[in-house]
Amino acid sequence: MNWQATTKKYTNPLSIKIPDDGLVESCADPTIIRGQTSGDHYWYMYCTTDPLNDNDKTAGDFNFHLIPMLRSSDLVHWTYQGDAFSTRPAWVASTAGLWAPEIKFLNGQYYLYYAASDTALPGGGSAIGVATSNGPLGPWVDSGAPVVEPHGADCCGPDSRRWVFDPDVVEDNGQLYIFYGSYFGGISVRELSADGLHSDPASQVPITIANRYEGTELVQQDGYWYLFASATNCCNGPLTGYSIFAGRSENVLGPYVDREGNSLLQGRVGGTPVISMNGNRWVGPGHNSVFEDLDGQFWTVYHAVDQNDPYFAGAVGFTKRPVLMDPLDWVDGWPTVRGGLWTSDRAQFAPAAQPGMKSKYHLKTPHPDQPDELIASLSDEFNGVLGTQWSWVRQPAADAYSVSSETFDFETQAADLYVDSNNASVLLESAPRGNYIVETKVKLDLPPEGCCFNYVQAGLVIYGNDDNFIKLAPVSIWETRQTEYAKELSPVPDGYPRYGNTVAATPGEWTYLRIVKQSHAGKEFYTAYTSLDGVNWERGGTWTHQLGSNAHIGMVSMGGSGFTANFDYIHVYSLDD
């Protein structure tokens, strides 16, 4: 077979034809493999249970396909090849989804692992199953029992049912391992039997703390195992903040740490951003699968949400998740999508899908957002007194805040700034016109570990009003401490969310926060940065908003009483263009 020497271009989302019947418009949680038998030059991709498109209905109800299968020779043009299952295996509950497939080639066969969202077993609960086939398109024969059975979360006893979702299978030194898990219960790993059909509960090892990650993908590179995992809500329509983070370890069993050395098991949970929103139409990039093309370039497929077409037609709230593809680069030992540019929305050079092909993709990195001149009139060192530029929305009691010789101290309030619960105090100053950076250093005296101080938080806001703002704040979520980056807007169409969040990198005892505001073509872009030392900054996601010329810079300390936030300073800079 003759293949072109160089690759063509493609544009996200990937084109997936249904023979004589339109396009596949949603392929969440994709997994990918190249044909493993002699003469098979195709690539195969598998998707979570969902309708194929807006019109995929019978008698007015959506059809939920049990793991759609796709095929391509060039990784750009795909064709729907049917579903892996026509009916659910007998041990799976009759209404369950078959989610998050994982395709492997083991023992001369294809293995299709999947999460069953519920089971017909005593006590119910989710589980991991597997089916095998001699070919990548089936027919698939289920093993007849879970590979990973329903079981309890460490927090909550054996009768609880942790989320046994999102399998990934790897081999290390001749031993197979299966990674699995989600927010409730965290991510774990077990030894897998040589036949790939059974896991050993006694070998179970925790990989991440609960309530942060799901959707794992393991890649071995340059002496490390890299764990890719997704965080926050996968399916919040146009405000989906799902994003991918990484940790690495020399041992497949961990511990996995991020670029700064923070463990993914600790309360101040680690994770180096791999991809988040970058300000184009795509939000919520997550749950990825990594592969290497025939020219040695790494790539990743993942799902995301088109802000302009977020839901299945006629079903507001049912998020549509097309499959996207972009190159994955290794920069200073850490993975990042498109060199840090993240999701592409224009024509890109395609992978080298076949032998002898060469990809024209070349690494480019984003221009760093750097501060220029300090705007002294909007900056405050909090040396004994608040600057005259500040004013309150809902001024708190006089004994609830103070200014020491070094910090502005603001007691956390049993109040919030969230949808219709708008009773928190906000300390505000005017934002400059044009592009700018606002930076602070904040300490929130929560214990670094332990549950539960839910949603106690303190940080920065870019405030239009109570229903339109951007927020960057260290926050307590169950046993974790995370850095939330949120957007709220109003009005919205009926049924649409008003609040959405992603998370940024690890908070510390003191956390440096930056929000970078830029305007292009009439749109406002707000990008999060965090740092543990004020020198090395990790970029987070970019929200778009239209806060306008009356936007203000603010501070909040809220979500529950009993703690104190210390703000060391507020610095406002013009942006170095």
Rg value, the chain, Cα: 24
List the structure tokens of 37. Answer: 């038998």
Instruction: Report the CATH number that the domain containing residue 452 is assigned in CATH.
Output: 2.60.120.200
- Name 358's bridge partners: 6
The C-alpha atoms of residue 464 and residue 356 are separated, in whole angstroms, by 55
Q: Is 385 in the same domain as 332?
A: no
Q: What pLDDT is recorded for position 5?
A: 59
Tally of CB atoms within 10 A around 515: 25
Residue 3 lies in a domain: no
Contact 187, 216 (CB under 8 A): yes
Walk across the sheet containing 186-192 and list its strands: 168-172, 175-182, 186-192, 205-206
Owning domain of residue 39: 9-349
The CATH code of the domain that includes 113 is 2.115.10.20
Per-residue pLDDT in tens (0 to 9) along the chain, 577 residues: 555 556 799 999 999 999 988 999 999 999 999 999 999 999 999 999 999 999 999 999 999 999 999 999 999 999 999 999 999 999 999 999 999 999 999 999 999 999 999 999 999 999 999 999 999 999 999 999 999 999 999 999 999 999 999 999 999 999 999 999 999 999 999 999 999 999 999 999 999 999 999 999 999 999 999 999 999 999 999 999 999 999 999 999 999 999 999 999 999 999 999 999 999 999 999 999 999 999 999 999 999 999 999 999 999 999 999 999 999 999 999 999 999 999 999 999 999 999 999 999 999 999 999 999 999 999 999 999 999 999 999 999 999 999 999 999 999 999 999 999 999 999 999 999 999 999 999 999 999 999 999 999 999 999 999 999 999 999 999 999 999 999 999 999 999 999 999 999 999 999 999 999 999 999 999 999 999 999 999 999 999 999 999 999 999 999 999 999 999 999 999 999 8
Find the length of the chain: 577
Domain for residue 21, yes or no? yes
| 317, 412: one domain | no
129/174 same-domain check = yes
Let me know if residue 396 belongs to a domain: yes
| Overall domain count for the chain | 2
Is the domain of 209 the same as that of 300? yes
- Domain assignment of residue 357, yes or no: no
In a domain, 363, yes or no: no
Query: Do 553 and 429 form a contact (C-beta atoms < 8 A)?
Result: yes
> Distances from the Cα of 217 to the Cαs of 96, 213, 286, in angstroms?
23, 11, 11
Lookup result for tokens 């936030």: 565
Q: What is the pTM assigned to this prediction?
A: 0.98
The position carrying tokens 């969202």 is 117
330 and 384 inside one domain: no
**Where is the domain boundary, 318, 349, 380?**
349
Whole-angstrom distance, CA of residue 208 vs CA of residue 187: 5
Would residue 384 count as lying in a domain? yes
- Phi/psi region, residue 138 (left: phi>0; alpha: psi -120 to 50; beta: rest), is left
Cβ-Cβ contacts under 8 Å for 235 (sequence gap 6 or more)? 242, 284, 305, 319, 321
Query: Is 142 in the same domain as 281?
Result: yes
Q: Are residues 331 and 449 in the same domain?
A: no
Can you say whether residue 20 is alpha, beta or left, with left for phi > 0 and alpha for psi between -120 and 50 degrees? left
Question: Based on the domain organization, do 444 and 568 belong to the same domain?
Answer: yes
Residue 343 and residue 425 share a domain: no
One-letter identity of residue 501: N
Contact 87, 79 (CB under 8 A): no
Are residues 126 and 66 part of one domain? yes
Residue finishing a domain among 349, 379, 412: 349
Q: Is residue 1 part of a domain?
A: no
DSSP 83: E
* Structure confidence at residue 21 (pLDDT): 86
Q: Please identify, among 300, 315, 349, the residue that sits at the C-terminal boundary of a domain.
A: 349
164 and 35, same structural domain?
yes
Same domain, 64 and 205: yes
How many other CB atoms are there within 10 angstroms of residue 507's CB atom? 31
Of 9, 1, 64, the C-alpha closest to 35 is 1
| CA separation, residue 547 to residues 113, 263, 416, 464 (Å) | 46, 37, 20, 5
Assess if residue 161 is contained within a domain.
yes
Cβ atoms of 253 and 205 closer than 8 Å: yes
Q: Omega of the bond prior to 255 within 30 degrees of 0, cis?
A: yes
Spatial neighbors of 100 by CB under 8 A, at least 6 apart, are 29, 31, 48, 114, 115, 165, 166, 167, 215, 287
Contact predicate 377/390, CB 8 Å: no
The pair of three-digit structure tokens given for residue 314, joined into one six-digit string? 């006629």
